[in-house]
Structure 1
Amino acid sequence: MALTLTSSAFVNGAVLPQAQVYSGMGETGGNLSPPLTWKDAPEGTRSFVVTAYDPDAPTGSGWWHWVVINIPPTVTSLPEGAGSGKGGLPESAVQLRTDFGTPGYGGAAPPPGRVHRYTFTVTALDVPKLDLPADATPAMVGFMLNHHRLASAQITALYGHAR
C-alpha cells in the first residue's frame, strides 16, 4: 500500500471550492484550508508535513500557499480551516511562512487568465520534527523534506478566472 491523500472538499483534478479561495486581492473566497485525510503511511514514519503549492504562478518559481511541519505520526487528517486559525492543528504542528509573507493557509489567488493547479501534498518523514526557525522559507522546507522523505502523496485542484 502507498501513502494516499484525499479531501472531502474536492477530488483530484476538480475545481477548488470557493471556501479554499483567497479572501482579498480581488478574490472573494473563504480562505479556509481544505479538509485533508491521509492513510497508509510507510513503516518508520515519525512525522508529517503538509504543503500547498501553485506551480503555475507567474513568478518563475511557483507560489507556496501553505506549509505545516511537525505533524505527529498519529495524526491522519486536518479539518477544514485548520490552517486558517479555526482550530484542529495538532499542538506540535508549526505553520511556516508562505509566499504571502506570513504563516498559515493562503487560498488560491491567480491573476486573471489561465487556470492554475493547486497541489496539496502530505509527506511522511523519518524524523519526529524538522527543527526550523519560524521564518524558514518554503525552499528550506523543501530541502529538509527531500532529505527525510519516506513517502509523499498529492491531490491537485484547479482554479482560475477569465480576464
Structure 2
Amino acid sequence: MSLERAVAPDPYDHLPPVPSFAVTSADMTDGRPLDELFTHPGVGGKNLSPQLSWSGFPAETRSFVVTCFDPDAPTGSGFWHWVVVNLPLAVTELPRGADPLPEGAFCVRNDYGERTYGGAAPPPGDRAHRYVFAVHALDVDELGIGADATPAYVGFNLAFHTVARGVIRPTFQS
C-alpha cells in the first residue's frame, strides 16, 4: 500500500512567530533518524523519551511545556506523541525516559491514549516522518488546564502564552 501524499507543513508555520531558544539532546539530532530506543514497541523500539535540555529562553519565562508531534502521520491532523505540561521554570532538562516528571508537571493523553511518551511508529513503507520536539517557554506559572485536556486544547492555550519556542526535528522511517 502506498501512502503518497504531499509533505505536511511544520505545525508552527501557522501560528504567530515567536523568538526561538536552544534545545539540545544527547539522544537525537535535528534532521537525523531517531534511535530505536525512542520508537514504539510496535516497530521494535523501547518507547523511551529522549533526553532534552534547553537554554537561552526569555527572561519573562515562568514555565515550560514540552511536546512531540508528527505532522506526517496519515491522519489529516498529525499525531501527538508527547505533551508535558506545567514544567517549572527551574527545570531546564528532562532525562532520557523522564519518569517521574518534576513535581507539578503532568502529561495529557497522547494519540496512543496514554499519559506518557509514545514513541515513533510510522506505517511500514511510508516515507520518513518528522518528529517535532518543541519546548515552549510560557508567560504563566501553570497553563491552567487539567490532565483530561486534549493535545489540541493544550496547543490552543499555548498559542496565547508562548513567549518563545525551541525545536528539534529528528526523523524516523519503519
**Aligned pairs (5 A) from 1:115-130:** 115-130=128-143
How many Å apart are 1:92 and its aligned residue? 1.1
Is 1:73 matched up with 2:89? Answer: yes
Given residue 63 of structure 2, which amino acid in structure 1 is its aligned partner? S
Given residue 110 of structure 2, which amino acid in structure 1 is its aligned partner? T
Does the 8 Å contact 1:2/1:42 carry over to 2? no
Identity %: 52
Local SS of the residue matching 1:145: helix
Distance 1:10 1:127 in 2: 29
Distance 2:68 2:163 in 1: 19
Is 1:91 matched up with 2:103? Answer: yes
Aligned residues: 155
How many Å apart are 1:23 and its aligned residue? 1.1
Local SS of the residue matching 1:144: helix
Aligned to 2:114: 102
More strand by share: 1
TM-score (structure 2 length as normaliser): 0.86
Aligned to 1:62: 78
Structure 2: give runs of 5+ residues left out of the alignment: 1-18
Aligned to 2:151: 138
Aligned to 1:17: 35
**Where has structure 1 moved over 2 Å in runs of 4 or more?**
none
Distance 1:2 1:152 in 2: 5
Local SS of the residue matching 2:167: strand
**Stretch deviating more after TM superposition (128-137 or 43-52):** 128-137
Distance 1:2 1:130 in 2: 20
Local SS of the residue matching 2:147: coil
Does the 8 Å contact 1:4/1:40 carry over to 2? yes
| Aligned residues: CA RMSD | 1.2
Distance 2:58 2:137 in 1: 7
Given residue 147 of structure 2, which amino acid in structure 1 is its aligned partner? A
Structure 1: give runs of 5+ residues left out of the alignment: none
Deviations 1:57-80 (A, max 9, x none): 000010000000100011110000
